[in-house]
Amino acid sequence: MTTSTQTFPLIQLRDVVKNYQSEAGVFPALKTINLSIERGEFLGIIGKSGAGKSTLLNMFTGVDELTSGEVIVHSSGESVSLHNLNENDLALWRGRTMGVIYQSFQLLPMLTLVQNVMMPMDMSGLYHPRKSRERALELLDMVELIEHAHKLPAYISGGQQQRVAIARALANDPPMIVADEPTGSLDSVTADHIFQLFERLVQSGRTIVMVTHDKGLMPRFSRHIEIVDGELLSEGGIQ
Amino acid sequence: MRPRWRKVLSDLIDNKARTTLVVLSIAVGVFAIGVIAGAYRIISDDMSVSYAANNPSNIEIRMDDFDEDFLNTIRKFDGIKEAEARRVFNTRVRPLGETLWTSVDVVTMEAFEANEVNLLVPISGEIVPLKNEILLERDVLEKMDVVPGETLEVQLRDNSIKTIYVAGIVQDSSTGAVDFLAPPLAYISTDTLKLFDQPELFNRVFATVEIGQDDDNHINIVLSALKEKIEKNDYEVGRTFRSLTHQHPLESTINAVLGILMALGVLIVFLSSSLIANTLSALLTQHLRHIGVMKLIGGRDKIIFRMYLILLLAFGVLSLLVAVPLGGQGAYALAQFIANKMGFLLLGYRIVPLSFFIQIAVGLLVPLIAGFVPVIKGSRVTVQKAISGDTSGETSEQAEGGANKESRIDEIQLKVTRILADRGIRIQRPLLVSLRNTFRRRGRLMLTLFTLTMGGATFISVFNVRVTLHEYVKDVGNYFLADVTLDFDTPYRVSEIEQFARQDPRVTHVEGWAFSGADILYPDGSTADNVSLLAPPAGSDLVNPLMVAGRWIEADDKKKLTISEGIYDLYPDLEVGDYLPLKVNGKEESWEVVGVFKFIGMEGILGYAPYEYISRDQNLANRSFSYRIVTEQHDRGYQEMMAEDMDAYFRESGFHVQEATPGLSTLDSASESLDILISFLLIMALLTAVVGSMGLAGTMSMNVLERTREIGIMRAIGATDWEIIRMVIIEGLLIGMISFGLGIVLAVPFTYGLSWIVSTAIFETPIAVIFTPMGYFIWLGLVILLSVLASVIPARSAARLTIREVLAYE
Ligand SMILES: Nc1ncnc2c1ncn2[C@@H]1O[C@H](COP(=O)(O)OP(=O)(O)O)[C@@H](O)[C@H]1O
Ligand SMILES: [Mg+2]
């Protein structure tokens, strides 16, 4: 089994269509998308604001429903059609397979940094509570925030918060990281710092999909695709 | 600690105001239920045990004077276990140096050491009075301040004053229990009788039966036989009383009152749970984003549901920590209060397991039930909605419904504003904003209005019921319209007394009344009950009866009577014109019932027959023991003064005055016990009002919290603190006023329901309901005050927000 799934790409989007229902009528946010994400690549999804980047991301994180088509994930020896999973299985699956990072960090404000990082391990039950604490501290050390481990998110800067979000995304040691404009609300120096962190994660073998509107980042991805009005425009090759 | 529990803990302790609000709203209900359930249990346990502990007599017979020998005859009578003889007479006492007399019934006992029936419980001082010493029943202390070791003055029939040493204070829960309108008691031994110029003879028998002490039928059989025996020995028997050993005579009344309080307690729990539901659904709405994040990183419905379940349970546990100890104390205090009033002792402080468990069940279940729907909804929300949706939004269907409603309300508001503006009435902008805000969250508004309206309606109803009860007691006062009742030890000619009394220019009218005790018989000839036959002159204006059927007495009635409604307990199908078997002066007779009138049921059965007939029948024509005097003025103070003056005046003139009582004194104790009930009802009404205003406060702070951004923008465009505070207060007031309007309407059925329950419990008959504006006005004032208070705190915190804080708010 393991060998057979290895030959498939990590994620396959087949004819994915997403329409939003609104008062003004049906709005086609994604128009028949076909896309494969390979293991170990650092994929950039680039597009202007409103192009459908977040919508696309939500399709393969399973956070939102699709209108038609299929998203198939091949991992840990299994092939799963994401949208056939129920909400619970999906949450558990996402917690173990995917680290999700948002532009607005989405840390829980009442928990300290270390507790925030421990949360996915607590939810998935993959680690013993004591072990998960050790691991959370290791991850915070990796993102150079160990000395702030017991502070609340409100007391650190935005760039630091995003690093905590990255540490949290890595908590269950998922094969894949998905990031929606993770540097969007950060200054350029901090943003670069975060980007370097991603590059190191790719080097250590993880698959990363990152959404950005910043075309300047294009050369730094291993591959990039451009999205305009819900359609994939160009596809950069593996460098 | 696992992060999920850490989060629950933070949710609990970070927002102290909200946690306090939720905990207190649960605690109020738990407390109310705990107090009432506990008191109910303590009283029903202790009342019968404590009453039975003093070996109460099953039979009390008031009769002609008799001696020790005859007592032995009674003791040997079949079916009698213990019997004691007493001499009971009325006298007046006062502490040395005081001017006001207090009427007491002095109970003379043969041997205090050998006391077996109606046991006395020592409170302070001695329990055995020596010669020329007196013991006072605790109730006397309500009328005067006296401690053992002090000396009292007593006034004898010949008007002379003697002194007597107070040896001790005792409690007698049995002797006075049958008639809590009687004067308080005092106790002397037989060798003190001389001091009071009383013969060394007895006039009452207190006896217990051998078997069937809790069987009224059996007691009645023994009593009837004993009465026959006594009458055969040529003694006349006056009133008789029966009581069960294990049932306090007022038990059913007290239980009824507690039942009403319990119903209110349940109402409070109900209201507080709607308040909790409100707060929790707001909390869950605020937590939507957190729930989304947890789901994003792998949290399943089950985990999230469990986390919030624990949060709910924690609210419950915290409220129990507050309410259970207070509830236990409150229960005992309430029981103690009632026990004091009713004259029995509690068996000591204790925790009532039943009420303890009820409190725990209520404290844990109420938040679970109230929070269940919001928690289920919250844990089912999808990540997408939770993270992307605006954090203040409700679930989508509601939000859409809300949006439609909102635009409709806006439309209406716009129209109304325009119409008003056309007529030159301008509504200020902040007011407009408040008006719209009030209707923004309909579900929340409904719940808030519901709690506040229920509280208000209960509050108003309690005032109506209060007036209804007092009015009823006043109606009953229509049977006691005289200002002074003057009783003599021997009969005097009516004309003589009238002439004498009229020499005082303040006396405007004098009537001589006759009195006769009688037994009502069942058709088979057995005794059913006593009836007191009062015999005023037929044309008397001093009785103003409320007839239920038939007519009032007439001068030429012979063997005809009117009788109080209580007769229906014995003869449910009785109709005017029917003949009633009575035993009057030992003779069995058949009397025609010419009318039935309304009277307080628990007083026993009362009958009226014309003086013209009764006095002749008793060979006392134109003479009387008892006189009703009408004076120039009818207020309480004047009546008391006249009673004293008449008493002194007739004594000085050599008449054998037994007692002169001011007119309304009998009613005072009735009103007093009603006031106790009313004050309990009021406390409960206040609690419901408090729950209602806590609901309002919660709603207001949620509304303000959700409008933080809007407030920030208002501030950014130059709104002052005062304008923002005013906007919030106007909104609170508006809700308060709407609930007041609804409360006015709801108070009508509430008043009818509550007075029906209370009057059937106490008077054993429904009574006419009376409405008073007082409750409405007080509630109006209170609801304004509460609304302002409930809005001021959130309003001030809203005004304190800086623009930066507001815009940073997510
Ligand atoms: N829940 C929604 N309902 C209706 N339209 C939506 C919704 N979410 C996004 N859209 C629309 O879909 C388009 C793509 O949105 P999004 O994927 O968020 O863009 P991006 O992330 O590239 O800025 C936008 O035009 C947006 O207005
Ligand atoms: Mg986006």
Q: Sketch the domain layout of chain A as residue ranges.
A: 2-237
Tokens of B720: 């002052």
pLDDT (tens digit per residue) in B530-588: 888 889 998 888 888 888 889 999 989 999 999 988 888 888 888 999 999 998 877 88
Question: Which of B8, B291, B296 has the most A C-beta neighbours within 10 Å, making it the best mutation to test the interface with A?
Answer: B296
Q: Cα–chain-centroid distance for residue B47?
A: 17
Rounded-to-integer distance, Cα B635 and Cα B632, Å: 10
> Who's near B252: CB < 8 A, 6+ residues apart?
none
Which of B253-292 are b and which e, b meaning 16 or more Cβ less than 10 Å from the residue's Cβ? bbbbbbebbbebbebbbbbbbbbbbbbbbbbbbbbbbbbb
Residue B251 identity: E
Residue A139 and residue A177 in contact, taking contact as beta carbons nearer than 8 Å: no
Give me the DSSP letters along A94-147.
HHHHEEEE-TT----TTS-HHHHHHHHHHHHT-S-HHHHHHHHHHHHHHTT-GG
pLDDT band at B424 (very low <50, low <70, confident <90, very high): low
pLDDT the model gives residue B710: 74
For ligand 1, whether the C-beta of A49 sits within 6 Å is yes
pLDDT (tens digit per residue) in B602-649: 456 889 999 999 898 888 889 998 999 998 887 777 887 888 888 888
- Which residues on chain B are in Cβ contact (under 8 Å) with A94? 296-298
Residue B373 identity: V
pLDDT the model gives residue B624: 92
Q: How many CA atoms lie within 13 A of B67 on its CB side?
A: 3
Instruction: Kindly report the protein residue whose alpha carbon is nearest to atom 17 of ligand 1.
Output: A52
What's the start-to-end Cα distance of chain B, in Å?
A: 28
pLDDT the model gives residue B352: 83
Rounded-to-integer distance, Cα A119 and Cα B4, Å: 7
DSSP H/E element including A231: strand A231-235
- Which residues on chain B are in Cβ contact (under 8 Å) with A88? 300-302
Residue B444's nearest CA partner among B244, B620, B274 is: B274
Phi, psi of B766 (to 5 degrees): -65, 145
pLDDT the model gives residue B396: 36
pLDDT (tens digit per residue) in B635-691: 777 887 888 888 888 988 888 887 787 776 555 555 666 776 777 778 777 877 887
Residue A199 identity: E
**pTM for the model:** 0.71
Rounded-to-integer distance, Cα B784 and Cα B617, Å: 66
> Who's near B217: CB < 8 A, 6+ residues apart?
none
Residue B176's nearest CA partner among B335, B95, B57, B93 is: B57
pLDDT the model gives residue B671: 63
Which of B601-635 are b and which e, b meaning 16 or more Cβ less than 10 Å from the residue's Cβ? bbbbbbbbbbbbbbbebbebeebbbbbbbbbeeee
B75 shares contact with chain A (CB less than 8 Å)? no
DSSP H/E element including B329: helix B301-342
pLDDT band at A191 (very low <50, low <70, confident <90, very high): confident
**Range A2-237 has CATH code 3.40.50.300:** yes
Residue B169 and residue B138 in contact, taking contact as beta carbons nearer than 8 Å: yes
Residue A161's nearest CA partner among A109, A100, A98, A208 is: A109
Residue A164 and residue A145 in contact, taking contact as beta carbons nearer than 8 Å: yes
Maximum C-alpha span of chain B: 104
Burial of B323 (0-12, 13-18, 19+ CB in 10 A): buried
For ligand 1, whether the C-beta of A230 sits within 6 Å is no
Rounded-to-integer distance, Cα B810 and Cα B808, Å: 6
pLDDT the model gives residue B128: 92
Report which DSSP code applies to B483: S
- Which residues on chain A are in Cβ contact (under 8 Å) with B293? 106-108
B396 shares contact with chain A (CB less than 8 Å)? no
Rounded-to-integer distance, Cα B296 and Cα A93, Å: 10
For ligand 1, whether the C-beta of A52 sits within 6 Å is yes
CA of B387 to the centre of ligand 1 (A): 14
A91: closest chain B residue by CA: B298
Residues in chain A: 239
pLDDT (tens digit per residue) in B171-209: 888 886 665 556 789 999 999 999 998 999 999 999 999
Residue A74's nearest CA partner among A7, A16, A5 is: A5
pLDDT the model gives residue A234: 60
Instruction: Kindly report the protein residue whose alpha carbon is nearest to atom 24 of ligand 1.
Output: A50
